[in-house]
Amino acid sequence: MIVAPAHTLEAISDALDTTTAAKVVGTLHKDLLKTPDHEMWSHVKEWVRPVHRPVPYNPA
C-alpha cells in the first residue's frame, strides 16, 4: 500500500517496476504525515489486515 499526496503518489507509481507495482494492494491520495499513530487505522483498514500477535508464554 502506498499513501502519499497526489503529486508524490504519481511520482512514486511512475518509478515502480512492474514486479513491485503488481504487489501494491492499494493507494491513498492523502497526506498522513502529521496524523497520529492511533488515527492511522481508519485510513488504511481497507487494505491492511490486523496483525495477530500470539500472547507470549509465561509459565510463572
pTM metric for this prediction: 0.63
pLDDT value of residue 47: 76
Residue 9: pLDDT band with limits 50, 70, 90: very high
* CB of 25 closer than 8 Å to CB of 50: no
Residue 3's CB is within 10 A of a number of other CB atoms, namely 19
CA 21 to chain centre: 14
- pLDDT for residue 60 is more than 70: no
Residue 47's CB is within 10 A of a number of other CB atoms, namely 14
* Mean pLDDT in residue range 21-36: 91
